[in-house]
Structure 1
Amino acid sequence: MERESLKKYRSPLVARYASEEMAFNFSEQKKFTTWRRLWLYLAKAQQTLGLNITDEQTSEMQANIENIDWDMAEEEEKRRRHDVMAHVHTFGQCCPKASGIIHLGATSCYVGDNTDLIVLRDAFNIVLPRLARCIQRLSVFAEKNKNLATLGFTHYQPAQLTTVGKRACLWISDLCMDLRNLTRARDDLKFRGVKGTTGTQASFLALFENNSEKVEMLDRLVTEMAGFKQAYIVTGQTYSRKVDVDILSVLAGLGATVHKICSDIRLLANLKELEEPFEKEQIGSSAMPYKRNPMRSERCCSLARHLITLIMDPLQTHSVQWFERTLDDSANRRICLAEAFLTADILLSTLQNISEGLVVYPKVIERRIKQELPFMATENIIMAMVKSGASRQECHEEIRKLSQEAAAVVKQQGGENDLVTRIKASSYFTPIHNSLDQMLDPSSFVGRSPEQVTKFLAEEVQPALKPFASFLDKISELNL
Structure 2
Amino acid sequence: AKIRHDIMAVVTALSEVCGPSGAYVHLGATSNDITDSATALQLKDALKLINQHLNDLEVVLMELSEANKHVLLIGRTHGQHAIPMTLGFKFVVWLRETSRHIQRLEECTDRVVVGKMSGAVGTQAGLGPNAMKVQHLTMSRLGIMAADVSTQIVQRDRYAELICLFAIIASSLDKFAIEIRELQRPEIGELAEPFASATQVGSSTMPHKKNPILCERVCGLAKILRSLTIPALENVPTWHERDITQSSAERFILPEACILLE
TM range (shorter): over 0.9
CA contact (8 A) 1:194 1:201 kept: yes
Q: How does 1:276-295 map to 2 (within 5 A)?
A: 276-279=193-196, 280-295=198-213
Using the alignment, how far apart are the partners of 2:17 and 2:54 within structure 1?
42
Using the alignment, how far apart are the partners of 1:261 and 1:114 within structure 2?
35
Of 143, 147, 157, which residue of structure 2 is paired with 1:227? 143
Secondary structure of 1:151's counterpart equals strand
Deviation at 1:306, TM superposition (A): 0.9
Using the alignment, how far apart are the partners of 2:178 and 2:18 within structure 1?
55
1:271-317 per-position Cα deviation (integer Å, ceiling 9, x unaligned): 21111111231111111111110110000000011111211111111
Is residue 148 of structure 1 aligned with residue 65 of structure 2?
no
Using the alignment, how far apart are the partners of 1:161 and 1:97 within structure 2?
79
Q: How does 1:205-244 map to 2 (within 5 A)?
A: 205=128, 211=129, 214-228=130-144, 230-244=145-159
Per the alignment, residue 162 of structure 2 pairs with: 247
Using the alignment, how far apart are the partners of 1:134 and 1:238 within structure 2?
35
Q: From the superposition, tell whether residues 139 and 275 of structure 1 become closer, same or farther in structure 2 (CA, over 3 Å).
A: same
Q: Which runs of 5+ in 2 are unaligned?
A: none
Deviation at 1:139, TM superposition (A): 1.4
TM-score between both structures, scaled by the size of structure 2: 0.94
TM-score between both structures, scaled by the size of structure 1: 0.52
Per the alignment, residue 216 of structure 2 pairs with: 298
Q: How does 1:213-362 map to 2 (within 5 A)?
A: 214-228=130-144, 230-270=145-185, 271-279=188-196, 280-319=198-237, 321-345=238-262
Q: From the superposition, tell whether residues 142 and 287 of structure 1 become closer, same or farther in structure 2 (CA, over 3 Å).
A: same
Deviation at 1:95, TM superposition (A): 4.4
Higher-helix-fraction structure: 1
Is residue 125 of structure 1 aligned with residue 43 of structure 2?
no
Q: Which runs of 5+ in 1 are unaligned?
A: 1-77, 206-210, 346-480
Q: Which amino acid in structure 2 is aligned with residue 315 of structure 1?
A: L
Greater Rg by CA: 1
Secondary structure of 1:236's counterpart equals coil
Q: From the superposition, tell whether residues 292 and 95 of structure 1 become closer, same or farther in structure 2 (CA, over 3 Å).
A: farther
Deviation at 1:168, TM superposition (A): 1.1
Q: Which amino acid in structure 2 is aligned with residue 295 of structure 1?
A: I
1:201-222 per-position Cα deviation (integer Å, ceiling 9, x unaligned): 11112xxxxx2xx222111111
Aligned-CA RMSD value = 1.4
4+ residue segments displaced more than 4 Å: 93-98
Using the alignment, how far apart are the partners of 1:141 and 1:103 within structure 2?
54
Using the alignment, how far apart are the partners of 1:247 and 1:93 within structure 2?
38
Of 162, 169, 173, which residue of structure 1 is paired with 2:85? 162
Using the alignment, how far apart are the partners of 2:20 and 2:101 within structure 1?
49
Q: Percent identity, aligned pairs only?
A: 30
